[in-house]
Structure 1
Amino acid sequence: MNKPLCALIAVLAASGGCNTDSQIYRDQPLVAKVETGMSKDQVQQIGGQPLSITQRTVEPGTCFDYKLTQAGHQQPYNVSFDSQGKVDHKSFMTCAQWSRAQQKAREYSPSTGGMGGGGY
C-alpha cells in the first residue's frame, strides 16, 4: 500500500472514528444504498436534496453534505463525486472535514517533501 493512502486512512480513522457509531445509521438510505460509481441524480433520488453542494478543493469534483437523523441524534454525512460526477467516497463527516483529511494526507506525501521518505 502506498504511503499517501496509508496516511489518508489514518487521518480518516482518527477523525471519523470518534464522532459516530456507524451501526446506528447503517439502515439510512444514503448509507445503505449509495454505492461507488453512482451519479449525482441517483444519489439525490435516494437521499433527496443535499444541505449543501460544494466544489472539492483537493481533487476535482463535487461534494454533497447531508445530515442523518436517527433516534433523536444527528450526524453529518457526505457523498463525494469525482470530476465525472460519479460517487468515489462517502463518510460520516462534512465535506469540509473530508477536504481537510485529504489535504492532510497530501501534505504527508513523499512527492511534497512530507514524512514518508523516498519514492518508489
Structure 2
Amino acid sequence: MNKPLFALLVVLAASSGCSSDSHVYRNQPLVAKVENGMSKDQVEQIGGKPLTVTDRTVEPGSCFDYKLTQAGHQQPYNVSFDGTGKVDHTSFISCAEWSNVQRKAREPSHSSGGMGGGGGY
C-alpha cells in the first residue's frame, strides 16, 4: 500500500546525485519543452534523434536516451514512453538506470515480515 511512496523515494534517490546539476540544463530544449503526453515524433522534433531507443523491461513502452551537453559537461537524459507511445517520464539518468529504478520499485519489500512480529513467548 506504500508502493507509490516507495517508488517515489527510489526515483528521488536514484536521481539525487544529478539533481544539483539539473539547473545547468534547464534551458536545453528536451528539458524545457518535453511534457508528459507528447508523442515520440514531437519529442524528436524537439530533441532530434535519440542516441538509443530501447524497449522498457518493466512497464510496456520504450525509452529514448539522449546526452545533454552544456558548458563542456555531459549529462545523460531519458524520455520514457508508455505503451501508447506517449511521454510518461523524463529524468537525468539513462534508460537502463530508469529501468532499474522501475524494477526495484516493483520488488517486494523485505522490511515487513521475517524477524519481529508476534510469536511464541
- Mark yes or no: TM-score above 0.5: yes
Structure 2 residue ranges without an equivalent (≥5):
113-121
**Corresponding residue number in structure 2 for 1:98:** 98
Q: What is the percent sequence identity of the aligned residues?
A: 63
**Corresponding residue number in structure 2 for 1:41:** 41
**Corresponding residue number in structure 1 for 2:5:** 6
C-alpha separation between the residues in 2 aligned to 1:104 and 1:6? 13
Q: Which amino acid aligns with 1:74?
A: Q
CA RMSD of aligned residues (A): 1.3
**Corresponding residue number in structure 2 for 1:68:** 68
TM-score using structure 2 length: 0.87
Q: Are residue 15 (structure 1) and residue 14 (structure 2) matched? A: yes
TM-score using structure 1 length: 0.88
Q: Are residue 25 (structure 1) and residue 22 (structure 2) matched? A: no
C-alpha separation between the residues in 2 aligned to 1:102 and 1:56? 10
Does structure 2 conserve the Cα–Cα contact (< 8 Å) formed by 1:3 and 1:116? no
Residue 24 of structure 1 aligns to a residue whose secondary structure is helix
Q: Number of paired residues? A: 111
Q: Which amino acid aligns with 2:35?
A: E
C-alpha separation between the residues in 2 aligned to 1:27 and 1:58? 30
Listed one character per residue, the Cα deviations across residues 11-41 of structure 1 (whole Å, up to 9, x for unaligned) are: 1111111134111110000000000000000
Structure 1 stretches of 4+ with a deviation exceeding 2 A read: 114-117
Residue 85 of structure 1 aligns to a residue whose secondary structure is coil
